[in-house]
Amino acid sequence: MESTKFNKTQWKQLKKELLREKRHIWPGLRKAEKEQAFSYASRYMVFLSSAKTERESADMIARRAVDAGFIPVDQAKKGSKRILWCYKGKVAALAVLGTTPLVDGVRLIASHIDAPRLDLKQNPLYEEMEMAYLKTHYYGGIKKFHWFSRPLALHGLAMKEDGRSVDITIGEAPDDPVLVINDLLPHLAYKVQADKKVSEAFPGEKLNVIFGGIPLNGPRDASDPVKLGILRLLHERYGLREEDLVSAELEVVPAGPARDVGLDRAFVGGYAQDDKACAYASFEAITGLNRPRHTCVALFMDKEEIGSDGNTGAKSRFFELLFFDMIRLAGERLEPDTLLRVLMASRAISADVTAGIDPDYREVHEKRNDARIGHGICLTKYTGSRGKYSANDAHAEYMGWLRGVWNNAGIKWQAGELGRVDEGGGGTVAKYLAGHGLDVVDAGPPLLGMHSPFEVAHKVDLYMTCLAYRAFYEGHNGVIS
């Protein structure tokens, strides 16, 4: 039976030796690190503000990668060390070949560059009450009421039948018009909104975007004069006819740039931080590498928000093609089992955000196991719902290895999961990577207001995510400079 009585000093010593310290990272950072966290956030905000859609993100990653010395895979030769893939304009991947052979495994970070939004339908344009509107169909998990009565922008392209593409961005330049979905005035909303469940009060078919209001001056009995006026403008500016909208991908997103939040500017606020927070962090981490031991890969996937299906999602075979390309460019022998051996020796981070504890909604969080804002990148062993269903549950061996890497590099991290048991849940690309044989774990910064048009992240968590990804790539003892 334990009978020792511990004095104050011994108590303090025991706590220091045995307890895991949980505290906000900021006070412990050096002045230079604090400055770096803020300058990192500024660079991230430029990316967040200018690459809102998956196409814009893939395009910006590709352009900046070329500036950082990456060679497009179709121009790469045996011996090329920095390779860039851009697939269907919606997926990008970067690799820095290492000094060890690929069969020793690669270090892969997979994020996603799609985000919840409203897509235009294929027959979007119509006129009602002398106003032109666009019909939308939402993409990913949104709370529909977030999208009413706020400035919106239209991003995307229309394909002509001869293969020419027409880029369209409306609502971002300071003198651009913006779009809006009108909400109902409270005076008349008692029955159709206020008395209903939220899920029923805002039907998807009411997410119609106002797009014009000046009727053309035609014959007295002419129909749809506003719609025709809008089509005339679309033709003048973009050379489009109504049928071109069938082969268009036009996405309605919140208008305007990312902003600092808080008087002390602690936070970044902006659209699509799920998952640009991780995409940008992995981009800076991989472009900063010189000659790593293991080959390092950053994957920027599409379609995560709708289940990773489609040939640009994490389930697509683009993933395997990347590895075949790398094996070829590294000049390694390709036996029938080489691909599998490389995959099974590889380690990955599913780079995705998690939910930070929101003090106003403590009831959905479990305070001992959910991520705290300001406590660093969150390592999430499993996602899924109702008893880890559909989760990749990372192995203890892998968790142990990664925590060692991060501790050696001085990374501030926390371990948690998303919400209380049976409260809800979510998934990431982790399980699809794991299906290929890689060891995978989820890790990313906590967000507030995830999947809203204005998500919030702490700058210190964003910065620590980038450092953690870099340490994972370098993957052994040693402090990041």
Interface residues toward Mn ion, by CB under 5 A: 274-275, 352
Closest CB to Mn ion among 275 and 284? 275
Instruction: Please tell me the distance from the alpha carbon of residue 82 to that of residue 29, in angstroms, as a whole number.
Output: 33
Alpha-carbon span 57 to 276, nearest angstrom:
9
- Of 215 and 426, CB closest to Mn ion: 426
Taking the complex as a whole, the smallest distance from the CB of residue 81 to Mn ion amounts, in Å, to 30
Phi/psi at 69 (5° precision): 90, 10
- Smallest distance from Mn ion to CB 327, Å: 29
Please say which residue, 339 or 462, places its beta carbon nearer to Mn ion: 462
Q: Which of 322, 311, 282, 310 is nearest to 436 (CA)?
A: 322
Torsion over CA of 449, 451, 455 and 461, rounded to 10 degrees?
90
Question: Which residue number, 300 or 323, has a Cβ lying nearer to Mn ion?
Answer: 300
469 close to 285: Cβ distance less than 8 angstroms: yes
Radius of gyration of the chain (CA): 25
Q: Please, which residues bridge with residue 168 across strands?
A: 156
Give the nearer residue to Mn ion in terms of CB position, either 274 or 370.
Answer: 274
Instruction: For residue 277, give both structure tokens.
Output: 């927070």
Whether omega before 275 lies within 30 degrees of 0, making that bond cis, reads yes
Backbone angles phi, psi at 75, to 5 degrees: -105, -5
- Compute the least distance from the CB of residue 56 to Mn ion, in Å: 17
Helix/strand/coil for 209: strand
Using the minimum distance from each CB to Mn ion, give the nearer residue, 210 or 364: 364
Own/partner pairs for 247-250, CB < 8 Å, 24+ apart?
A: 247/158, 247/159, 247/160, 247/161, 248/120, 248/156, 248/157, 248/158, 248/159, 248/168, 249/55, 249/119, 249/156, 249/157, 250/119, 250/120, 250/124, 250/154, 250/155, 250/156, 250/157, 250/158, 250/168
Closer residue to Mn ion, CB minimum distance, 285 or 405: 285
Smallest distance, Mn ion to C-beta of residue 418, A: 11
Q: Cβ–Cβ contacts within 10 Å for residue 56, how many?
A: 20
Closest to Mn ion by CB, 426 or 435: 426
Beta pairing, strands 91-96 & 295-301: antiparallel
From the CB of 140, what's the least distance to Mn ion, in Å?
7
* Shortest separation between residue 297's beta carbon and Mn ion, angstroms: 19
Q: How far is the CB of 369 from Mn ion (least distance, A)?
A: 19
Q: Is the CB of residue 101 less than 8 Å from the CB of residue 294?
A: no
- To Mn ion, the closest distance from the beta carbon of 353 in angstroms equals 6
57, 70, 89 from 62: Cα distances, Å: 8, 9, 10
Closest distance to Mn ion from the beta carbon of 301 (Å): 10
| Residue 294 vs 451, nearer CB to Mn ion | 451
